[in-house]
Structure 1
Amino acid sequence: MGGGKTPATATPLLAALLLLLVGVLAPHAAGDGEDPTPTPWPPQFHAKLLMDFHGNLSLADLWYDWPGGRNLHVIRYQLAADAPFYDNEWNNGTSFFYTPARRTCRSAAVGVGILPPNWLVQGSVYLGRQSTGGFDCHVFAKADFITYYEDVRTKRPVKWVFYTGKTSHVMAFEEGAVLEDAEWQAPEYCFGKGDETSSNNALISEPVAGHDEGFFPKRILTF
């Protein structure tokens, strides 16, 4: 009993436990060096955004409806008497930009639809982790066009920065929120004739009446 010797049966038992631990931990260790991938957008959501474009501030409601093939931004520029401005985009490649207060509308046929939920997953580059606005974020870049910040814990978008310098801060993100169908309908004067309505087949990237034409310029769809 004395002498402090370890029972002979302890050695095989210890070896078995070590082998078991190696088998459990090895798969986790192998994935430690892999970069995370962006979380796809939910099929439908509503986001409230605070946007800053070189000091020009605006608030936006972003309604995303992939099953419905549509994407709507309702933008309110700071102290603008004609707010809001609507950017109404459809999966058939048609977009409408209208300001009800002025009864003006501009349409564009761009040949591509709205962003799919996995638009960032394909072709993005992982830039690492960074704290922004008090959130620990994974940071991704795509096509030298956008830098996207995703909360590590919740996987929700926190901020995205366009190459133009426009920054969108996500103030609220409601997954599964759906806008009523009537709210998606472009006003009747978008389909009339005359000076109040015009069309543009160019890439959505130019300002219209002081507003941004196209919230997500279509070059982002190039994977």
Structure 2
Amino acid sequence: MLTPATTTSPPHLLLLTTITTMLLFSTITTLTTATDPTPTPTPTPWPKQFHSILMMNYSGELQIINLWYDWINGRNFNIIQHQLGNVLYDLEWNNGTSFFYTLDSDQQCSSAQLEVGILRPNWLDGATYVGQRYTDGFLCYVWEKADFITYYEDVETRRPVHWEFYTGRNAHVMTFEVGAALEDAKWQVPWYCFEQSTPVTKMVDVNGTITHRGLVDSSTRRVADV
């Protein structure tokens, strides 16, 4: 009875085949890495309209802010509730005009004409990416812009989570409603804002609160053109 012959490759051929396979795999991996690098994250532009509720904290001083951003109509509205205090309305237009007023019996109002309008949707263009950090329980991409602000964006949803001003004031984003718009009637400035005999050209501090254009920082008068 004949026994089938078995063929065994010489050891040097097996070694050569193994080395060739390893080199081929290494080459493919190198080419894939070179042609498909992980890009540096860039900030997501703001929606052209949104509503956000912010919790502001500065050394224990708390505020709740309803932020209505409306790039389509060239306007921005910060409705600022001071803890156990009054409500300040900060209405900003893209032509640089701002009104700061209350709707209580004191009827306080001041205005300012600034050289910059509201923040553009892509105002974070050119920000420096500094990596990933956990904040408020979310893993975030983090950028710094113009030595003015550190901005945190959720890695998963790409929504803003938190931002820190250079003064140390912190904004915690509680809600973020894309496409939400405030009805036009709410943007009307009260009549007593127009009783001034001469226009106000410098920002006047109403109830101790001054704002940045579109990003509220009540501890500074600085307005950065970002």
TM-score by length of 1: 0.81
Letter in 2 for 1:201: T
* Number of aligned residues: 208
**Contact 1:207/1:213 (CA < 8 Å) preserved in 2?**
no
**Would the aligned equivalents of 1:97 and 1:106 in 2 still touch at CA under 8 Å?**
yes
Residue 209 to residue 120, structure 1, CA distance change in 2 (3 Å): same
Q: Secondary structure at the match of 1:209?
A: coil
Kindly indicate whether residue 84 of structure 2 is the aligned counterpart of residue 79 of structure 1: yes
**CA distance, structure 2, for counterparts of residue 20 and residue 182 of structure 1:** 62
Deviation, 1:218, is 6.2
1:201 aligns with 2:205: no
Alpha carbons 1:119, 1:221 under 8 Å: kept: no
> By how many angstroms is 1:45 displaced?
0.5
Match of 2:133 among 106, 109, 130: 130
Give the equivalent residue in structure 2 for 1:27. Answer: 35
Structure 2: gaps spanning 5 or more residues:
none
Contact 1:39 1:121 in 2 (8 A): no
Partner of 1:210: 208
| Cα displacement (A) at 1:43 | 0.6
Report the Cα offset of residue 21 of structure 1.
7.0
Matched with 2:168 is 165
1:84-163 to 2 correspondences below 5 Å:
84-101=87-104, 102-122=106-126, 124-163=127-166
Corresponding residue for residue 62 of structure 2: 57
Closer/same/farther in 2, CA of residues 27 and 220 from structure 1, 3 Å limit: farther
Task: Give the 3-state SS of the residue equivalent to 1:165 in structure 2.
Answer: coil
- % of aligned pairs identical? 48
What is the CA distance between 1:211 and its match in structure 2?
1.8
Give the letter aligned to residue 138 of structure 1.
Y
TM-superposed CA distance for 1:25, in Å, is 5.4
Q: 2:53 aligns to what SS in structure 1?
A: strand
Unaligned runs of 5+ in 1: none
Measured after TM superposition, the shift of residue 26 of structure 1 is: 4.1
User: Are the aligned partners of 2:52 and 2:177 in contact in 1 as well (CA < 8 Å)?
Assistant: yes
Rg comparison, structure with higher value: 2
Alpha-carbon separation, structure 1, partners of 2:196 and 2:30: 73
- Structure 2 residue 53 is matched with structure 1 residue 48: yes
